[in-house]
Structure 1
Amino acid sequence: MATSTATSLPSRTSMLPNSPPAKGSPRSLSGLVPFLRPYSGRIGLAVLFLVMAAVATLVFPLALRGLIDGGMGAADKGTQLMGLRTHFFELFGVAAALGLFSAGRFYTVSWLGERVTADIRNAVYSHVLRQSPEFFETTQTGEVLSRLTGDTTLVQTVVGSSLSMGLRNAVMGVGALGMLVFTNPYLMVQVLGALLLIVAPSVWFGRRVRKLSRASQDRVADSSAIAAEVLNAIPVVQSYTAEDREAARFDRSTADAFAIAVRRTKARSVLVAFIIIATSAALLWGLYQGTQAVMRGDISAGHLGQTVVYVIILASAAAVLGEVYGDLLRAAGATERLMELLDSQSPVTSPSNPLAAQITRAGSAIKFENVTFHYPSRPTQPALVDFSLSVEPGETIAIVGPSGAGKSTVFQLLLRFYDPASGRIELDSVRTADMSLEDLRGRIGLVPQDAVIFSTTALENIRYGKPDATDEDVKAAARAAFAHEFISALPEGFDTFLGERGVRLSGGQRQRIAIARAMLKNSPLLLLDEATSALDAESERMVQAALETAMKDRTTLVIAHRLATVKKADRIVVIDHGRIVEQGSHEQLMAANQVYARLAALQFVA
Structure 2
Amino acid sequence: MNSLFSRRQRQAIRLAASFVSPYRWQVAGALLALVVTAGITLSIGQGIKMMVDQGFMTQSAALLERSIGFFMLLILGLAVGTFMRFYLVSWIGERVVADLRRQVFDHLVELHPGFYESNRSSEIQSRLTADTTLLQSVIGSSLSMFLRNALMVIGGIVLLFITNPKLTSIVVVALPLILAPILMFGRRVRTLSRESQDRIADVGSYVAEALGQIKTVQAYNHQQQDKARFAQTAEQAFDTARKRILQRSWLITLVIVLVLGAVAVMLWVGGMDVINGTISSGELAAFVFYALIVGMAFGTLSEVIGELQRAAGAAERIGELLAARNEITAPSEGCLRLPPRVTGHLALEGVSFAYASRPERNALDNLTLTVEAGETVALVGPSGAGKSTLFDLLLRFYDPQQGRILVDHVPINQLDPRDLRRCFAQVAQSPALFIGSVEDNIRYGNPDATFEQVEAAARIAHAHEFILEMADGYQTRLGEGGIGLSGGQRQRLAIARALLVDAPILLLDEATSALDAQSEYLIQQALPDLMKGRTTLVIAHRLATVQNADRIAVIDQGRLVAIGTHAQLIAGNPLYARLAALQFNAGKDTVG
Quick check: 277-286 or 502-511, which moved more? 277-286
How far the C-alpha of 1:604 sits from its partner, in A, is: 5.1
Equivalent of residue 74 in structure 2, options 87, 90, 94? 94
How far the C-alpha of 1:174 sits from its partner, in A, is: 0.7
Between the aligned partners of 2:100 and 2:227, the Cα distance in structure 1 is: 37
Between the aligned partners of 2:196 and 2:417, the Cα distance in structure 1 is: 44
How far the C-alpha of 1:192 sits from its partner, in A, is: 2.9
Between the aligned partners of 2:348 and 2:240, the Cα distance in structure 1 is: 58
Tell me, yes or no, if the aligned pair for 1:563 and 1:604 is still in contact at 8 Å: no
Q: Which residue of 1 aligns with 2:31?
A: 47
Q: Which residue of 2 aligns with 1:8?
A: none
Tell me, yes or no, if the aligned pair for 2:426 and 2:506 is still in contact at 8 Å: yes
User: Helix, strand or coil: the match of 2:478?
Assistant: coil
User: Helix, strand or coil: the match of 1:164?
Assistant: helix
Gaps of 5+ in 1: 1-16
Quick check: 243-252 or 164-173, which moved more? 243-252
Between the aligned partners of 1:36 and 1:429, the Cα distance in structure 2 is: 47
Gaps of 5+ in 2: 587-592
Distance 1:238 1:512, change over 3 A: same
How far the C-alpha of 1:274 sits from its partner, in A, is: 5.4
Q: Which residue of 1 aligns with 2:284?
A: 304
Between the aligned partners of 1:86 and 1:563, the Cα distance in structure 2 is: 99
Q: How does 1:309-348 map to 2 (within 5 A)?
A: 309-348=289-328
Tell me, yes or no, if the aligned pair for 2:252 and 2:302 is still in contact at 8 Å: no
Between the aligned partners of 1:310 and 1:102, the Cα distance in structure 2 is: 20
Equivalent of residue 266 in structure 2, options 286, 291, 314? 286
Between the aligned partners of 1:43 and 1:360, the Cα distance in structure 2 is: 50
Q: Which residue of 2 aligns with 1:65?
A: 49
How far the C-alpha of 1:90 sits from its partner, in A, is: 0.9
Tell me, yes or no, if the aligned pair for 2:33 and 2:81 is still in contact at 8 Å: yes
Q: Which residue of 2 aligns with 1:519?
A: 499
What is the identity, as a one-letter code, of the residue corresponding to 2:53?
Answer: D
Tell me, yes or no, if the aligned pair for 1:24 and 1:333 is still in contact at 8 Å: no
How far the C-alpha of 1:272 sits from its partner, in A, is: 5.3
Distance 1:244 1:340, change over 3 A: closer
Residue by residue over 1:189-213, the C-alpha shift from the partner in whole angstroms, topping out at 9 and shown as x without a partner, is 2223345445544665566677777
How far the C-alpha of 1:542 sits from its partner, in A, is: 1.3
Residue by residue over 1:296-344, the C-alpha shift from the partner in whole angstroms, topping out at 9 and shown as x without a partner, is 1111111111100110111111111112221222111221221121122
User: Helix, strand or coil: the match of 1:382?
Assistant: coil
Asked if 1:428 corresponds to 2:412, the answer is no
Asked if 1:30 corresponds to 2:14, the answer is yes
Equivalent of residue 353 in structure 2, options 341, 365, 373? 373
Quick check: 429-438 or 204-213, which moved more? 204-213
Between the aligned partners of 1:492 and 1:274, the Cα distance in structure 2 is: 64
Tell me, yes or no, if the aligned pair for 1:432 and 1:440 is still in contact at 8 Å: yes
Between the aligned partners of 2:404 and 2:236, the Cα distance in structure 1 is: 55
User: Helix, strand or coil: the match of 1:450?
Assistant: coil
Tell me, yes or no, if the aligned pair for 1:203 and 1:322 is still in contact at 8 Å: no
Tell me, yes or no, if the aligned pair for 1:447 and 1:529 is still in contact at 8 Å: yes
Residue by residue over 1:187-245, the C-alpha shift from the partner in whole angstroms, topping out at 9 and shown as x without a partner, is 11222334544554466556667777776666655554443333223222322334445
Residue by residue over 1:159-209, the C-alpha shift from the partner in whole angstroms, topping out at 9 and shown as x without a partner, is 222222111111110111111123212211222334544554466556667
User: Helix, strand or coil: the match of 2:399?
Assistant: coil
Tell me, yes or no, if the aligned pair for 2:248 and 2:306 is still in contact at 8 Å: no
Asked if 1:480 corresponds to 2:464, the answer is no
Between the aligned partners of 1:218 and 1:388, the Cα distance in structure 2 is: 45
User: Helix, strand or coil: the match of 1:389?
Assistant: strand
Distance 1:203 1:550, change over 3 A: same
Equivalent of residue 104 in structure 1, options 84, 108, 126? 84
Distance 1:553 1:500, change over 3 A: same
Between the aligned partners of 1:209 and 1:329, the Cα distance in structure 2 is: 7
Distance 1:220 1:371, change over 3 A: closer
Residue by residue over 1:545-604, the C-alpha shift from the partner in whole angstroms, topping out at 9 and shown as x without a partner, is 101111111111101121111111011111122221111110111011422112212345
How far the C-alpha of 1:510 sits from its partner, in A, is: 1.4
Between the aligned partners of 2:397 and 2:86, the Cα distance in structure 1 is: 46
Tell me, yes or no, if the aligned pair for 1:561 and 1:603 is still in contact at 8 Å: no
Equivalent of residue 97 in structure 2, options 101, 117, 140? 117
Distance 1:285 1:604, change over 3 A: farther
Q: How does 1:454-493 map to 2 (within 5 A)?
A: 454-493=434-473
Distance 1:356 1:388, change over 3 A: same
User: Helix, strand or coil: the match of 1:394?
Assistant: coil
Q: How does 1:223-242 map to 2 (within 5 A)?
A: 223-242=203-222
Q: Which residue of 1 aligns with 2:519?
A: 539
Q: TM-score, normalised by structure 2?
A: 0.91
Between the aligned partners of 2:416 and 2:214, the Cα distance in structure 1 is: 42
Distance 1:378 1:102, change over 3 A: same
How far the C-alpha of 1:389 sits from its partner, in A, is: 1.7
Between the aligned partners of 1:255 and 1:334, the Cα distance in structure 2 is: 21
How far the C-alpha of 1:46 sits from its partner, in A, is: 1.6
Tell me, yes or no, if the aligned pair for 2:12 and 2:319 is still in contact at 8 Å: no
Asked if 1:350 corresponds to 2:330, the answer is yes
How far the C-alpha of 1:281 sits from its partner, in A, is: 3.7
What is the identity, as a one-letter code, of the residue corresponding to 1:44?
Answer: A
Equivalent of residue 160 in structure 1, options 140, 145, 154? 140
Asked if 1:415 corresponds to 2:395, the answer is yes
Q: TM-score, normalised by structure 1?
A: 0.89
Distance 1:150 1:172, change over 3 A: same
How far the C-alpha of 1:23 sits from its partner, in A, is: 6.1
Q: Which residue of 2 aligns with 1:11?
A: none
Tell me, yes or no, if the aligned pair for 1:562 and 1:603 is still in contact at 8 Å: no
Between the aligned partners of 2:8 and 2:191, the Cα distance in structure 1 is: 13
What is the identity, as a one-letter code, of the residue corresponding to 2:466?
Answer: F
Between the aligned partners of 2:360 and 2:17, the Cα distance in structure 1 is: 42
Equivalent of residue 502 in structure 1, options 461, 482, 485? 482
Tell me, yes or no, if the aligned pair for 2:433 and 2:441 is still in contact at 8 Å: yes
Quick check: 421-430 or 97-106, which moved more? 421-430
Count of matched residue pairs: 582
Tell me, yes or no, if the aligned pair for 1:69 and 1:300 is still in contact at 8 Å: yes
Between the aligned partners of 1:501 and 1:123, the Cα distance in structure 2 is: 25
Between the aligned partners of 1:415 and 1:253, the Cα distance in structure 2 is: 38
Tell me, yes or no, if the aligned pair for 2:93 and 2:137 is still in contact at 8 Å: yes
Between the aligned partners of 2:319 and 2:582, the Cα distance in structure 1 is: 51
Quick check: 220-229 or 279-288, which moved more? 220-229
Residue by residue over 1:480-530, the C-alpha shift from the partner in whole angstroms, topping out at 9 and shown as x without a partner, is 111122222122222222211111112222122111111111111110013
Between the aligned partners of 1:579 and 1:113, the Cα distance in structure 2 is: 55
User: Helix, strand or coil: the match of 1:133?
Assistant: coil
How far the C-alpha of 1:74 sits from its partner, in A, is: 3.2
Distance 1:496 1:98, change over 3 A: same
User: Helix, strand or coil: the match of 1:468?
Assistant: coil
What is the identity, as a one-letter code, of the residue corresponding to 1:34?
Answer: S
Between the aligned partners of 2:337 and 2:252, the Cα distance in structure 1 is: 67
Q: Which residue of 2 aligns with 1:598?
A: 578
User: Helix, strand or coil: the match of 1:464?
Assistant: helix
Quick check: 184-193 or 124-133, which moved more? 184-193
Between the aligned partners of 1:347 and 1:215, the Cα distance in structure 2 is: 29
What is the identity, as a one-letter code, of the residue corresponding to 2:537?
Answer: L
Tell me, yes or no, if the aligned pair for 2:387 and 2:555 is still in contact at 8 Å: yes
Distance 1:385 1:601, change over 3 A: same
Q: Which residue of 2 aligns with 1:563?
A: 543
What is the identity, as a one-letter code, of the residue corresponding to 2:120?
Answer: Q
Residue by residue over 1:80-130, the C-alpha shift from the partner in whole angstroms, topping out at 9 and shown as x without a partner, is 222112111111111111121122111111111111111111111111111
Quick check: 372-381 or 217-226, which moved more? 217-226
